[in-house]
Amino acid sequence: QKEVEQDPGPLSVPEGAIVSLNCTYSNSAFQYFMWYRQYSRKGPELLMYTYSSGNKEDGRFTAQVDKSSKYISLFIRDSQPSDSATYLCAMSNAGKSTFGDGTTLTVKP
Protein backbone atom coordinates (compact mmCIF):
# COMPACT_ATOMS: atom_id res chain seq x y z
CA GLN A 1 0.00 0.00 0.00
CA LYS A 2 1.31 3.45 -0.90
CA GLU A 3 2.04 5.97 1.84
CA VAL A 4 0.05 8.61 -0.06
CA GLU A 5 -3.13 7.80 -1.98
CA GLN A 6 -4.70 10.41 -4.24
CA ASP A 7 -8.15 10.31 -5.82
CA PRO A 8 -7.16 9.38 -9.38
CA GLY A 9 -9.65 11.32 -11.47
CA PRO A 10 -9.59 12.51 -14.17
CA LEU A 11 -11.93 15.36 -13.37
CA SER A 12 -13.79 17.45 -15.93
CA VAL A 13 -15.78 20.46 -14.73
CA PRO A 14 -17.40 23.53 -16.30
CA GLU A 15 -15.79 26.92 -15.83
CA GLY A 16 -16.82 28.48 -12.52
CA ALA A 17 -17.30 25.17 -10.70
CA ILE A 18 -15.86 24.38 -7.29
CA VAL A 19 -13.28 21.61 -7.48
CA SER A 20 -12.33 19.29 -4.64
CA LEU A 21 -9.09 17.28 -4.77
CA ASN A 22 -8.27 14.77 -2.04
CA CYS A 23 -5.47 12.65 -0.63
CA THR A 24 -5.09 10.26 2.26
CA TYR A 25 -1.87 9.17 3.90
CA SER A 26 -0.68 6.54 6.31
CA ASN A 27 2.58 7.91 7.76
CA SER A 28 2.00 9.90 10.96
CA ALA A 29 5.54 11.33 10.71
CA PHE A 30 4.62 13.61 7.81
CA GLN A 31 4.98 17.20 8.99
CA TYR A 32 4.26 19.35 5.95
CA PHE A 33 1.50 18.99 3.41
CA MET A 34 1.78 20.48 -0.06
CA TRP A 35 -0.17 20.83 -3.26
CA TYR A 36 1.62 21.16 -6.56
CA ARG A 37 0.31 21.93 -10.02
CA GLN A 38 2.00 20.33 -13.01
CA TYR A 39 1.36 21.35 -16.59
CA SER A 40 2.19 18.99 -19.41
CA ARG A 41 5.93 18.67 -20.01
CA LYS A 42 6.77 20.91 -17.04
CA GLY A 43 8.06 20.38 -13.52
CA PRO A 44 5.67 20.61 -10.56
CA GLU A 45 4.98 24.11 -9.22
CA LEU A 46 4.15 24.63 -5.55
CA LEU A 47 0.64 26.02 -4.97
CA MET A 48 0.32 25.84 -1.21
CA TYR A 49 1.76 24.20 1.84
CA THR A 50 0.39 23.75 5.35
CA TYR A 51 1.81 22.51 8.60
CA SER A 52 -1.04 22.07 11.00
CA SER A 53 -4.58 20.77 10.82
CA GLY A 54 -7.08 23.33 9.60
CA ASN A 55 -7.63 25.49 6.56
CA LYS A 56 -5.30 27.78 4.66
CA GLU A 57 -6.62 30.08 1.98
CA ASP A 58 -4.81 31.76 -0.90
CA GLY A 59 -7.04 33.51 -3.39
CA ARG A 60 -9.28 30.93 -5.06
CA PHE A 61 -7.42 28.04 -3.43
CA THR A 62 -8.07 26.54 0.01
CA ALA A 63 -5.96 23.76 1.48
CA GLN A 64 -7.43 21.68 4.26
CA VAL A 65 -5.58 19.24 6.53
CA ASP A 66 -7.14 16.81 8.99
CA LYS A 67 -4.27 15.03 10.76
CA SER A 68 -6.59 12.93 12.91
CA SER A 69 -8.10 11.39 9.77
CA LYS A 70 -4.87 11.58 7.75
CA TYR A 71 -6.74 13.38 5.01
CA ILE A 72 -5.94 16.50 3.00
CA SER A 73 -7.94 18.41 0.43
CA LEU A 74 -7.51 21.25 -2.02
CA PHE A 75 -10.53 23.30 -3.04
CA ILE A 76 -10.52 25.53 -6.10
CA ARG A 77 -13.27 28.12 -6.30
CA ASP A 78 -14.48 29.73 -9.53
CA SER A 79 -12.35 27.34 -11.57
CA GLN A 80 -10.86 28.69 -14.80
CA PRO A 81 -9.69 26.95 -17.99
CA SER A 82 -6.15 27.98 -17.00
CA ASP A 83 -6.52 25.74 -13.93
CA SER A 84 -6.49 22.71 -16.24
CA ALA A 85 -3.45 20.70 -15.13
CA THR A 86 -2.42 17.73 -13.02
CA TYR A 87 -2.56 18.40 -9.29
CA LEU A 88 -0.20 16.51 -7.02
CA CYS A 89 -0.46 16.26 -3.27
CA ALA A 90 2.80 15.77 -1.39
CA MET A 91 3.85 15.29 2.18
CA SER A 92 7.26 15.72 3.68
CA ASN A 93 9.28 14.55 6.62
CA ALA A 94 12.93 15.41 7.21
CA GLY A 95 13.22 17.09 3.84
CA LYS A 96 12.00 14.12 1.81
CA SER A 97 8.74 14.55 -0.08
CA THR A 98 6.33 11.72 -0.90
CA PHE A 99 3.88 12.45 -3.71
CA GLY A 100 0.50 11.16 -4.70
CA ASP A 101 0.01 10.03 -8.30
CA GLY A 102 -1.88 13.16 -9.28
CA THR A 103 -5.37 14.11 -10.42
CA THR A 104 -5.78 15.54 -13.90
CA LEU A 105 -8.28 18.39 -13.99
CA THR A 106 -9.89 19.82 -17.10
CA VAL A 107 -11.95 23.00 -16.78
CA LYS A 108 -14.16 23.49 -19.82
CA PRO A 109 -15.07 27.03 -20.96
Partner 1 sequence: ETGVTQSPTHLIKTRGQQVTLRCSSQSGHNTVSWYQQALGQGPQFIFQYYREEENGRGNFPPRFSGLQFPNYSSELNVNALELDDSALYLCASSMRASSYNEQFFGPGTRLTVL
Q: Which residues bind partner 1 (CB under 8 A)?
A: 4, 6, 31-32, 41-46, 49, 51, 88, 90, 92, 94-102
Q: Which lies closer to partner 1 via its Cβ, residue 32 or residue 71?
A: 32
Q: Which is nearer to partner 1, 41 or 109 (CB)?
A: 41
Nearest approach in angstroms of CB 38 to partner 1 is: 9
Q: Min. distance of Cβ 1 from partner 1 in angstroms?
A: 14
Cβ proximity to partner 1: between 18 and 29 the closer is: 29
List CB contacts of 92: < 8 A, sequence separation 6 or more.
30, 31, 32, 34, 98
Cα separation, 29 vs 99, whole angstroms: 15
Residues 6+ apart with CB under 8 A from 58: 47, 48
Minimum CB distance to partner 1, residue 68 (Å): 21
Contacts for 39 with CB less than 8 Å, ≥ 6 apart: 45, 85, 86
